[in-house]
């Protein structure tokens, strides 16, 4: 799968993909990332990408022409899913990341200043994507977040498939707690069940802990009716235990 990032600050991406899972995926040819300077798609001698907003407000807005031209230039076979990073967009979650991972090409447009001429959202972008209910100064960090979250769902990118399935949100819940050596640290002991060697018991402990954490921190997630009947039963058990405490 291929990501094309359109930005006025291409240099911002040199560090962010230079290590870890995404770097390994790039080295193994599982994903490709091309960063394009929006100014290369201007046609005037000042390479102007922004202008003042009509209606007399302060600040600058990214102009539509270079963005349309950049997208048209990077599209493979006239396709590609065009995503505009915007605080007004659909919130990025695991479902959206997995959906994007099914695309052959995702084109990410990074806004700046006061934002992007609305005609880009109306006529060019297939999606507007937000990474949270706050405003950042530009779409570069959000684009890097979208690439990382999406790449994890591309088959083969994360070493062991199981670890993606166990990640928070992948199966609708927060992840279970994890422990490593030492067995005891400053009086804090690793739960005994993890040394039992009984994989069935360990699995059900993990599921229970994931449900417990999710019910406490993100009750909105456990209200999802796609929970398995076994999970519902465990949740009721946990709620009863809490009542008894
Ligand atoms: N005036 C715009 C508004 O209120 O919606 C915000 C513009 S923001 C300062 C500049 C650019 O940063 C946006 O065009 C967008 O590309 C990016 N951006 C800022 N916050 C974002 C977020 N939460 N998610 C995705 N992109 C964001």
Ligand 1 atom showing the smallest separation from residue 84 Cα: 16
Residue 10: which residues within 8 A CB-CB, separation 6 or more?
A: 35, 36, 37
Taking each continuous run of H as one helix and of E as one strand, the counts in the chain are 10, 9
Say if residue 182 is preceded by a cis peptide, omega within 30 of 0: yes
Pocket mutation for ligand 1, best pick of 82, 109, 111 (most atoms within 8 Å of C-beta): 111
| 152 assigned to active site | yes
Q: Do residues 202 and 177 lie in contact, with contact meaning Cβ atoms separated by under 8 Å?
A: no
Q: Do residues 164 and 152 lie in contact, with contact meaning Cβ atoms separated by under 8 Å?
A: yes
CA gap 128, 139 in Å, rounded: 11
- Catalytic: which of 112, 117, 140, 152? 152
Pocket mutation for ligand 1, best pick of 85, 114, 130, 131 (most atoms within 8 Å of C-beta): 85
Residue 161 confidence (pLDDT): 64
**Domain 2-151 has what CATH class?**
alpha beta
Residue 229 confidence (pLDDT): 87
Enumerate the β-bridge partners of residue 107: 4, 82
CA gap 218, 94 in Å, rounded: 15
Q: What is the pTM of this model?
A: 0.95
**Residue with tokens 């960063």, as numbered in its chain:** 35
How much is the mean pLDDT over the chain?
95
Residues of the chain with pLDDT under 70: 161-162, 224-225
Q: Tokens at residue 62, please?
A: 């990214």
Residue 180 confidence (pLDDT): 98
Domain ranges of the chain: 2-151, 184-244
- Catalytic: which of 10, 66, 87, 142? 87
Q: What separation in Å is there between the alpha carbon of 35 and the centre of ligand 1?
A: 19
Structural domain 184-244, CATH architecture: Orthogonal Bundle (1.10)
| 148 assigned to active site | no
| 208 assigned to active site | no
In 3D space, the residue among 117, 121, 119, 115 whose CA is nearest the CA of residue 137 turns out to be 115
pLDDT one-digit tens code per residue, 119-177? 999 999 999 999 999 999 999 999 999 999 999 999 999 987 668 888 999 888 999 99
| 184 assigned to active site | no
CA gap 178, 213 in Å, rounded: 13
């Amino acid at each position: 799968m291929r990501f094309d990032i359109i930005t006025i600050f291409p240099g911002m991406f040199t560090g962010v993909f230079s290590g870890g899972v995404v770097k390994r995926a790039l080295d193994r040819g599982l994903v490709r990332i091309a960063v394009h300077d929006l100014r290369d798609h201007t046609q005037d001698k000042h390479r102007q990408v922004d202008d003042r907003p009509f209606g007399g407000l302060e600040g600058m807005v990214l102009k539509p022409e270079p963005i349309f031209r950049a997208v048209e230039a990077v599209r493979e076979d006239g396709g590609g899913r065009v995503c505009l990073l915007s605080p007004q967009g659909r919130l990025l979650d695991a479902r959206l990341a997995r959906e994007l991972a099914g695309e052959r090409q995702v084109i990410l447009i990074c806004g700046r200043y006061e934002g992007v001429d609305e005609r880009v959202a109306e006529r060019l972008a297939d999606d507007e994507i937000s990474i949270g209910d706050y405003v950042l100064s530009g779409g570069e960090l959000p684009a890097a977040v979208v690439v990382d979250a999406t790449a994890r769902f591309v088959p083969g990118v994360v070493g062991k498939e199981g670890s993606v399935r166990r990640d928070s949100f992948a199966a609708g819940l927060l992840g279970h707690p994890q422990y490593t050596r030492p067995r005891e640290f400053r009086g804090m002991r690793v739960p005994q069940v993890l040394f039992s060697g009984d994989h069935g018991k360990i699995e059900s402990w993990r599921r229970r802990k994931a449900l417990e954490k999710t019910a406490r921190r993100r009750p909105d997630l456990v209200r999802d009716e796609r929970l398995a009947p076994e999970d519902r039963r465990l949740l009721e058990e946990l709620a009863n235990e809490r009542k008894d405490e």
